[in-house]
Each structure stands twice: as structure tokens, then as C-alpha cells.
Amino acid sequence: MDYLDMLAKLGVGNAHPGGFAATLKQFEQYPLPTNSRILEVGCGTGRTSCYVAAQGHDVVGIDIRPDMITKAKMRAEKENVSIQFMEGDASSLPFPNESFDVILVESVSIFTDTDKALSEYYRVLRTGGKLFDREMILRKPVSIEINQEITRFYHIERLWDINDWSALVKKMGFNQSKIEGPFLFPETSEDLFEHPDPNQQIDVGSFLDMNIWEVTSKYNGIMDRFRKYIGFILVIGTK
């Protein structure tokens, strides 16, 4: 079992940098245009997509994992919002060019072919549309051993720093782009207490599955020991 398996089985809805608090803060700082057509890439169990849809937007959520999509559809039904959820890959989006006004991404791009993903975001955005991508980042240099421990746990190719992101966003042709951060990761418990998820869907038997708690323990250990090295950024780009 890996990190993403654990998130899927526990139905976690805030497993992105800064948690749901960062999501709400982003929307407060950057309000979405009225009646936007919005794509959330890597929607997971659909918490952000459902929140956005409840504000009156036309939302499509896409995720590579069918188990996540199943839970996202159940969440939308419980929250009585209309959303199109579908399986799909961030690096090969199944949409025509210029399909969306806004693309939302929360800790997805580093888990796939990041260059291809950013290129796809740009392709499916309408002219004048905006990308908001919140991702984990390397805040300061680390030893080879620490780097390997983090990348192995998350099954990612490498850790990106702010210079890597700046170069990629510029290469993709986004206008008026900027990168906010890096920010420190908050304590995991803070988000759970401040923004509990009433529609979290946990697989039956998960609390008794030692594999889940082994992965959870490893995650908490990495976040505790390496907090000073890793953080997150918000990438904002306009097509």
C-alpha cells in the first residue's frame, strides 16, 4: 500500500498542501469569476469540486483513480450538487482546446509528468483563463538520503524547488504568472479540527488495516522530521 492508496481508502478530502484551510484562503484571496466553467485536475474525493459547484459554477472533476471518482460522486449526491466526475490523466486531458475558464490543481502535478501536465492545463484553458496550482516544494537543499526518503514515500520522480517551477511556468507561455510562497506546512491536526469533513467516506475495515496505519505513520514521520525542508507554493498563471 502506498500514500495514494491510503488516501483513497480513508476517503481523505483535504490531502493537499495547506489542507482545506489553504483552499478556502485561496478562494477568498482570488474569487472565481461568476458562473465559470471550472476543471479540477486530480479531484480526489471531490471536496473542493463540490464546494466550488455549490457556489454556482459549472464544474468538472477528473482523477486517475476510479475509487476516488466513486467517492467523489457519492459526495456530490450527499451535498446535492451537480458535477461531472470522470477518470482521466492530468498529462493527457480528455477535453478540446480552450474548454475551461479556470483550472484548479491541488498537489497533483508533481505526481505525474509535470511538463506534460502544465502543457495540458494551458491547452484546455480559454484565452484569459487562469490556472491555480498548489504543490509541495523543496524549500531548502537536503541530503541525498532525505531526498530519497521523501521521493520514495510519495512515488515522485524528484522534488521541485521554486526555480524549477518558475522556469516551467515561463516555458509554457503563461502570462502574468506568479508564484506565491513557499509556505510552511501547518500541523495536520489543525485542519482536521478547524475544517472537519462531514462527508468523508472511509472504507469498511480501514481502521483495522495495519497497512493503512503503517503508511499514515510514515507520512506523519516525514512531515515532522522534514518540515523545515519542504513546504508548498501556489502557482498562478493566465493564458
Low-confidence spans in the chain with pLDDT less than 50:
none
Q: Tell me what pLDDT residue 16 has.
A: 86
Cα 171 vs. chain centroid, distance in angstroms?
Answer: 22
- The pTM for the full model equals 0.95
Q: Tell me what pLDDT residue 176 has.
A: 81
Interatomic CA distance for residues 112 and 91, integer angstroms = 7
34-86 residue pLDDT tens: 999 999 999 999 999 999 999 999 999 999 999 999 999 999 999 999 999 99
Nearest to 133 by CA among 4, 1, 30: 30
Interatomic CA distance for residues 150 and 159, integer angstroms = 8
* The three three-digit cell numbers of residue 126, written as one number: 480559454
Fill in the amino acid letter for 226. F
Interatomic CA distance for residues 181 and 13, integer angstroms = 23
DSSP-assigned beta bridge partners for residue 92:
89
Cite the beta strand spans of 27-96 per DSSP E.
37-41, 58-63, 84-87
Contact 158, 144 (CB under 8 A): no
Interatomic CA distance for residues 210 and 32, integer angstroms = 41
Residues with Cβ < 8 Å from 146, sequence gap 6 or more? Answer: 226, 229
Please give the CATH number for the structural domain made up of 3-238.
3.40.50.150
Interatomic CA distance for residues 141 and 186, integer angstroms = 20
Tell me the CB-side half-sphere exposure of residue 197, using CA atoms within 13 A. Answer: 24
| Percent of the chain surpassing pLDDT 90 | 87
